[in-house]
Structure 1
Amino acid sequence: MTMTDTVLARLAALKTTPTPDLKKQWRELFDTEAPPYNRRFLESRLAYRIQELAYGGLKPATVERLEALGEQLDGGNIVLRRIRADDKPIAGTRLIREWQGVEHTVTVLNDGYEWQGRPYRSLSAIARAITGTRWNGWIFFGLKNRRGQA
């Protein structure tokens, strides 16, 4: 059996491995406790790690290039890195919300939002301007429910 066959067998076995055993593998491969994420996350990260250990990870030059690209995108702002770009509606989308009998329309921009001809960096700031109280903008505009699900 070649190394490739062994790696492929380990990857295939992940699908049928009980979750407690996946967490055990995590501890062995990452030397940390498994995060409290769903099974699919564990499977995908374990599959990557198995291949990384067998075939090698990214070259240092590739890691440096990716870090440089990340810096260009977010200017080193760690908060922006934690916001998933694919969660935000695409630029041009109009969000409509009625509040106390008045309809409010917000346009999604590449770098923020526009309401009543003014730019805003967040939906929460617009919701606060509309209501006079603090709101999670994503909840106010119906993009997320109170449990945080999109």
Structure 2
Amino acid sequence: MKFNWGTGLVIGMVGFMSFILYFVITMSTDRKYSYDLVIEDYYKHEMNLQGAIDATANSKQLETPVTGTKTEAGYLIAFPENLDPKAITGSVFLYRPSARQLDFDMPIRLSSSNLLIPDKRLVGGRWNITITWEYEGKNYRFEDEITY
């Protein structure tokens, strides 16, 4: 068999297609590359978007903003001190982009203006934190990306 440029071109194309096919099959069958949707019911979530925008705007109008800091005991969230801590109700949602099973939601129960998320609940890495709360009939929302 004579090897000319046409044969080389066909062999090169078949090799390239095999290479691409190998990666497609590997990415679709390997559990290591399996990722979940960010939100299962995103259409329902989208309907509440205006409320979230208004709550975020309310948070920006506070005299002192909500802040979060990493401490030895965990992640400390500080609410404004001029607000009555017992009147604040809501929840803290921590979303882990790389592992859905690590996501958790905890209610806000304050005796002082600080809320501590224990160190044992947080695995090292990137987290998205969303705090939604209500104070005197007004909704507030705080979002941040943290690296723990």
Instruction: Specify which structure has the bigger relative contact order, considering alpha-carbon pairs within 8 angstroms and separated by 6 or more residues.
Output: 2
Higher strand proportion: 2
Higher helix proportion: 1
Q: Which has the larger radius of gyration?
A: 2
When normalised by structure 1's length, the TM-score is 0.25
When normalised by structure 2's length, the TM-score is 0.25
